[in-house]
Amino acid sequence: MMAIHCTGPDAPWWQAFPVYKTLQDRRVVFRWERPPAEPERAYASPLLEARRYASILKSDPFVKTQADLAREMGVSRVRITQIMNLLRLTPEVQERLLWLEDQKAVRFFSEHRLRPLNQIEDPKRQVREFQKLLAEVPR
């Protein structure tokens, strides 16, 4: 099935609905339908990705280094290191991140936003800074 449609502000009203082209018994059939509803995207915590990478490094006999993992995942070695550094967060912060259910909060705590917390050596200060970030989460 193939969708044919034109979008933009100057497109005619009838092109807001895609035409689906299918083949039935060697004949081309066009059907007018509303566009299929796209499900809302669910975001995963970058900490889950870091834990997944760590488990792959432990369990997969063919992936011995982060460079091997980077080749396997199709990302750079530096990116693997950045994500794996999230495992250096205090256990309390990690637990709070994993228990987040609100998609806005999960999306808010991206790897880039959590990176400065890794630089804080004092666990109590790290938790305080995390609490400050938690207060900034959009509702």
User: Tens digit of pLDDT for each residue in 66-113?
Assistant: 999 999 999 999 999 999 999 999 999 999 999 998 888 899 999 999
Rounded-to-integer distance, Cα 43 and Cα 2, Å: 28
If asked whether residues 78 and 104 sit together in one domain, one would say yes
Domain extent, residue 12, equals: 2-32
Q: Please state whether the predicted TM-score (pTM) of the whole model is above 0.75.
A: no
Asked whether residue 41 is assigned to any structural domain, the reply reads no
What's the confidence (pLDDT) of residue 41? 74
If asked whether residues 76 and 8 sit together in one domain, one would say no
Asked whether residue 38 is assigned to any structural domain, the reply reads no
Taken in order 41, 106, 89, 96, the sign of the CA dihedral is negative
Rounded-to-integer distance, Cα 94 and Cα 65, Å: 24
If asked whether residues 61 and 128 sit together in one domain, one would say yes
Residue 107, Ramachandran bin (φ over 0: left; ψ between -120 and 50: alpha; else beta): alpha
CATH code for the domain in which residue 64 is found: 1.10.10
If asked whether residues 87 and 54 sit together in one domain, one would say yes
Q: Which of 107, 113, 58 is nearest to 82 (CA)?
A: 113
User: Tens digit of pLDDT for each residue in 82-95?
Assistant: 999 999 999 999 99
Q: How many domains does the chain have?
A: 2
If asked whether residues 83 and 118 sit together in one domain, one would say yes
